[in-house]
Structure 1
Amino acid sequence: MRTVFSSALILAGMLASPAAAQVSDNVVRIGIVNDMGGIYADAGGKGSIIAAELAAEDFGGKVLNSPIEIVSADHQNKPDIAANLARQEYDSQGVDVIADGGSSAAALAMQNVSRERKKVILLSGPATAEVTGKSCSPYSFHWMYDTYALAAAPPEGVLKNGGDTWFFITADYAFGKSMESEATKRIVAAGGKVVGGVRSPLDTPDFSSFLLQAQGSGAKVLALATAGSDTSNAIKQAHEFNIIGGKTQVVTFLMFINDVDAMGLQNGQGLVSSTTYYHDLDDGSRAFAKRFWDKMGRPPSIVQAGVYSSVVHYLKAVAAAGTDDGTKVAAKMHEMPVNDAFTHNATIRADGRLLRDLYVTQVKTPAESKGPWDYWKIIATIPGDKAWRPAQESECPLLTSK
């Protein structure tokens, strides 16, 4: 899929000024590579294309007098396909930057290609903290959340209320394993204990055997280190098995607003997770959400909001650098503060981690909700300088000040 904002803009690119001569093939081309039809399509998918288009609209469809073009591809959450697509986009399709990234394993594969090709990659879909850990790159940027930050909020609150024994249902790929590892460190450090766990394949339709194992463990807390429709399916089935309530509390670490919609407030009420974007957070969030909603028919997910925010910052950096050269643009992105409709003076660390505020959310009860998509309430805010892994604890060689 390709989106070009007007034929007049293509002509403008062909007749570019000297500044635009620094733009490769006279087009700034953005590739959205994610899951377009699977488990994460609702959180990313075509909504990420729309988010990138809205970012391009903010620039009038051009930067450095050259048109902005949006292309897209579906990696099906498969790392080998993702890596091949990234090579094709960078090498033969003239793509200057890839955005979204989708699932963690696929994104890590594309991150390697980005490093090899010295091209920028903007990751708002993947959660694994490895992106800014041992796999860090001067060309990659981790925009919205990661497993280190997501693991912080739920264990602290649950342990304080007596939830000291945990059982994990963990997605069997990079995100789930990283999520479980980070959460376990916090649980054990706070005096809790992990009494068992199982690994679930991606896009599991039936969680019954996993839920029965969790129930049989006697754990007070069922922790879901899953995402997308896996999370909403697991919660709905936990209700069917009467696992939620009584002596068992369910904890989620990564929950998209789309997941809440899929499971319904009756099933999701009270669930605690965290986010860096909510469409009803403030005036800027609501203004962006309205633009997106008008095109998509619903508010943006955290992933789609991240695509918008990261692409806006990338385009600002292209304009400031006077070129779409990956090395120069990446350096400029690190140098500039991040400001957009819902991001305010955030900074990017040398490992590519955007240090933005993290919000702890709780799903509203049906009685608390005032209308469609009014699903969350913000119960705490963790400042950007506190939410993310400290530089001195990172395995990233780019953080030389450790």
Structure 2
Amino acid sequence: MSGTVRRRVALSLPLVAAPALVRAQGATIRLGVLTDMAGPYAGNTGPGSLTGARLAAEDFMKANPTLHVEILSADAQNRVDVGSQAARSWFDTQGVDAVLDLPMSALALNVIDIVKEKNKVALFTGPASSDLTGRACSPNHVHWVYDSWSLAHALGTATVQVGGDTWFFLTADYAFGHSLERDTSAFVTAAGGRIVGTARHPFPGTTDFSSFLLQAQASRAKVLGLANAGSDAVNSIKQAAEFGLTRRGMRIAAMLTQINDVHALGLEAAQGLLVTESFYWDMNDGTRAFTERFVRERNGQRPGMIHAGAYSATMHYLKAVASLGAAQAKADGAAVIRRMKEMPTDDPLFGQGTVRADGRKIHSMHLFQVKTPAESRGAWDYFQLLQSVPPEQSFRPMAEGGCALVRP
């Protein structure tokens, strides 16, 4: 690793545990990874997102030896108040220039106001709500990796086309779940399907989904749509199998089930699931090379799309900082975002792309089916590619989002 490694703990904010990457000389850019370190989203974000950001900083500093990059991290505990306090404290007392990840949509929507007030930068790689580049778009943030529209577009349409034309939603009762249910419902109905019921479970803290699954069973829907994620989705799928929903013919559409969730479930339980992802570790030479480095840092864990997004977003942000100059970048977060939109994106994980005027990062999305145990070559060989959706079709058309930054 280039540079030296040290740890910083901010005494004024005990939840911060900050592995840092620094150089011996030059300007310093500070990036805070605000994530879920131990809760339901930790496997898909958390320490893996921190690793993705650190690897990007390492690669960037090799090519730009006069610029320090220091990475901090904090556990938002899946609470809007805790995460917002962390972001504000970083900006006010620790000289942080940008925040990254933020797996809760409700937290991301709150932090938008903070980065606008402070003229800082938010790089949203963890949250899902498509509102982040719609009604809530701002000049101080971008949305990377995926969103509820992109997840719903491929999965909702494809499931109806193969006969899954009646849906019951099990939804996490906060901004992310509501957005994912809304966007998926629109595609289901547009494809000729019907929504026959919805049950919303509290977040976080729900572990027993039995009452909700009984409602789904009673609805006689052909598809159980999971508008939740992380351990909530894993537990929902496991308990649905225990209740015999899949044996009775109900298909599960898990809109935000990622590779770490499949690993936790095991192929016996997860086989046949359709998932939409923007990244898979075994897609090509570039994704496999990144995975080799990630695995060494994460004790064998493969990266998911949010971990890859932490690398990609951090790298593009730092390229924009270098283009502007560190002093101007630290003084004007909105200027960094403008530069990120002006520069084409290009990295080995997502390929070439762009950041649109509404802040939406554009790249291909991929529809995968989870392999059967017999089809898998071993641990982490879980996905079979069914379809790749080109970048221009993968995300909501900019004119339809209602972003005030987009001129008619």
SS in 1 for 2:387: strand
- Is the 8 Å Cα contact of residues 101 and 107 (structure 1) preserved in structure 2? yes
- Is the 8 Å Cα contact of residues 169 and 226 (structure 2) preserved in structure 1? yes
- Is the 8 Å Cα contact of residues 28 and 63 (structure 1) preserved in structure 2? no
User: Are residues 1:73 and 2:74 paired?
Assistant: yes
SS in 1 for 2:61: coil
Structure 2 matches for 1:1-400, cutoff 5 A? 1-5=17-21, 9-10=23-24, 12-13=25-26, 26-60=27-61, 63=64, 65-202=66-203, 203-297=205-299, 298-323=301-326, 324-325=329-330, 326-400=333-407
Q: State the distance in 2 between where 1:336 and 1:156 align.
A: 33
SS in 1 for 2:94: coil
SS in 1 for 2:99: strand
Q: Deviations over 1:272-298 (max 9, x none)?
A: 010001100111011111110111021
In the TM superposition, residue 191 of structure 1 has moved relative to its aligned partner by 2.0
TM-score of the two chains, using structure 2 as the length reference: 0.92
Q: State the distance in 2 between where 1:59 and 1:5 align.
A: 11
In the TM superposition, residue 187 of structure 1 has moved relative to its aligned partner by 1.6
Tell me the amino acid that sits aligned with residue 75 of structure 1. A
SS in 2 for 1:27: strand
Higher mean C-alpha deviation, range 225-234 or range 241-250: 241-250
Q: Percent identity?
A: 45
In the TM superposition, residue 61 of structure 1 has moved relative to its aligned partner by 6.1
SS in 2 for 1:59: helix
Q: State the distance in 2 between where 1:190 and 1:53 align.
A: 42
In the TM superposition, residue 64 of structure 1 has moved relative to its aligned partner by 6.9
- Is the 8 Å Cα contact of residues 18 and 74 (structure 2) preserved in structure 1? no
SS in 1 for 2:229: coil
SS in 2 for 1:307: helix
In the TM superposition, residue 91 of structure 1 has moved relative to its aligned partner by 1.4
- Is the 8 Å Cα contact of residues 63 and 315 (structure 1) preserved in structure 2? no
SS in 2 for 1:28: strand
Q: Which runs of 5+ in 2 are unaligned?
A: 1-16
Q: Deviations over 1:358-386 (max 9, x none)?
A: 00011000011101111111110011101
- Is the 8 Å Cα contact of residues 154 and 251 (structure 1) preserved in structure 2? yes
In the TM superposition, residue 63 of structure 1 has moved relative to its aligned partner by 4.6
Q: State the distance in 1 between where 2:244 and 2:59 align.
A: 49
Q: State the distance in 2 between where 1:370 and 1:112 align.
A: 47
Tell me the amino acid that sits aligned with residue 315 of structure 2. V
Higher mean C-alpha deviation, range 57-66 or range 355-364: 57-66
Distance 1:217 1:336, change over 3 A: same
- Is the 8 Å Cα contact of residues 170 and 225 (structure 1) preserved in structure 2? yes
In the TM superposition, residue 5 of structure 1 has moved relative to its aligned partner by 3.3
Tell me the amino acid that sits aligned with residue 330 of structure 1. I
Q: State the distance in 1 between where 2:290 and 2:242 align.
A: 37
